Structure 1
Amino acid sequence: MPHMSGYELTRRVRERFSLSELPVLLLTARSQPTDIYAGFLSGANDYVTKPVDALELKSRIWSLTTLKQSVHERLRMEAAYLQAQIHPHFLFNTLNSIMALGDIDTEKMRRLGDAFASYLRVSFDFLNSGELVTLSHELELVSAYLYIEKERFEDRLFVTWEVDPNIDLLLPPLTIQPLIENAVKHGILSQVKGGTVQLRITRQDGSTLFEVRDDGKGMEQEKVQQILDLRMRDKSGIGLSNTNRRLTQMYGKGLSIHSKLGEGTIVSFIIPDPNK
């Protein structure tokens, strides 16, 4: 590498990925303690000195790739776990709404009950622990959630849906739903007047754009940076940070967030075509 040392390359990798997300194995002719220390200090997981024993090299690579796969699996299961953590107030409020409609509008009660059953079924679906799901599977969950919230909050929540027809792709599970739920809960319903959530999925040249836009209260840039910081572990909410990390691992680029206090938020991501 004529323009950059292995140490510098490793440091740049660590700006985006943790030790477990993207392991780095240094193959070096330097074996002095100071050299080894410099390698680990730059962010390397392991090192092998030249001349290389083939069996040792394979074993170390196997160990690091196994570590990466384990972390990838943990992130997927964490996403499924976050979705399964349905907040008690959402559960009870929805059930109360269904029961209250029994004395007012039985047909509306039935539709809300069907939507709630669909939401629960998809939320606990074993596919949510898989690596990829169909777009229709993800949109079924989003549609059920939005229907419930629209019935509960009526004129405080407006929804617009712009999805290009004939989009048939696979995507990581629970990628759209967290964006929608955060827009509704933290953007729209946090203000008395409510607002509008827009979902847009459209084809671009060689990729598909997913965009969730709301005219809610917006976020400070410090909060946006916390969400997008791959080194941070977001233990609150439904997992925007988790979604960002999974998208970054799979496609090399995660969420894009543009937000302004008092004006709203736009969260988007791009999934490239499989043959690109």
Structure 2
Amino acid sequence: MPARVLVVDDVLANVRLLEARLTAEYFEVITAMNGHEALDACVRSQCDIVLLDVMMPGMDGFEVCRRLKEDPATHHIPIVILTALDQPADRVRGLEAGADDFLTKPVSDVALFARVRSLTRLKMMTDELRMRAVSGHQVGMGAVSIETILDNGLNGKILVVDDRAASYERIQTALRDTHKVEIETSPQEALFRASEADYDLMIVSLGFDEFDALRLCSQVRSLERTRNLPLLIVSEPEETARVLRGLDLGVNDYLVRPLDKNEIVARVATQVRRKRYADRLRMNVLQSMELALTDPLTGLHNRRYMETHIETLLEQAASREKPLGVVMVDIDFFKPINDNYGHDAGDEVLREFAVRVRASVRGIDLACRFGGEEFVIVMPDTDLATAQMVGERLRKKIASTPFSINHGQNQLDVTISVGIAMRENGDTGDTVLKRADQALYRAKRSGRNRVECDAA
């Protein structure tokens, strides 16, 4: 998987050796010899991952990691610390600074490349979400970044899958003050639980005697409901090959026994933060899609969505030889409402009108704000008599109850004119809408507050 890797080390020989190893695996490599160069490179070069030495003059790797994770422009970049430091306290310090992994030199090529591929794959998935979110001022990307930086990764909901009491009790003890931990001793049941509940992380032991825990990881990744659930596996020191296989399957991180309490806490917090960040991005993507398809004032679909969707509905109706009605509605004398009472009052009328429209149509009907005070309702599987009945029912609902304006201080009588057209063979969205519009104008010319049907 091609990726751009930033190698940071103050020893030139180390840089050149790592550069050669990565280039041979078809990674694009850029280098930095100190912390300041690394920070500049991350901002300028759009790195996919950083391989970072710790012991450097001026600014050590821990500080570089911390600054990258505190910058909204770079906090999403995975960081792997590569160092000769081998004490548990050093590893925990790196993870607490924001590193995604901490590997002690010498690191085998197989282990290094597996970790780089795993983290860059996750980063590219995140980048896709970021791109879909379009721009920060439209969908709150800035707020997402700040929330992620401030998130301490605590109070997560964790599912531990392990059948050895001594093992899962150690994990539970390490996490019980900072997270809600649930234990599942059956891998088969774990899959059901994960698909039914909203967990922030699943921790899976590789130590099951009669079940391959990597199969559970593969199943979690294959199900739509659990595909984005972070996975952390727990292995024995001699299970390196299985850990690497797990990373290829989509496992996010791993712990090696004997388990260090502080490392458990640090790695879990990292995964919970990443899960929440991805969830925020997905929520913003959904919101941006909704904004693109919905009229913000009324909450009905907008004209862009209607013009696209009506063609699909027409094709479906034609293929099934079913009727389809198009109802076009215009609020009578709407301009004087704005002129006499103000645009805020006009907005109140439009919002209340949308509420009454939704109450008058079926779930399968497509109700849209066409523009200004004009609305369209597309009604699949609806004959002319039913479309007329719906149009008349809506007309009466609007005319019978005054609209509240100026925050309820005034009441205003409102009426509508309605034009109806039915699908004909060969119709496009434009042609059927044009006929409904012509019927609408007949209703307005005939005195308004009435329903007219297309004469064709």
Q: Which has the higher contact order (CA 8 A, sep 6+)?
A: 1
Larger radius of gyration: 2
- TM bracket, shorter-chain basis: 0.3 to 0.5
What is the TM-score normalised by the length of structure 1? Answer: 0.37
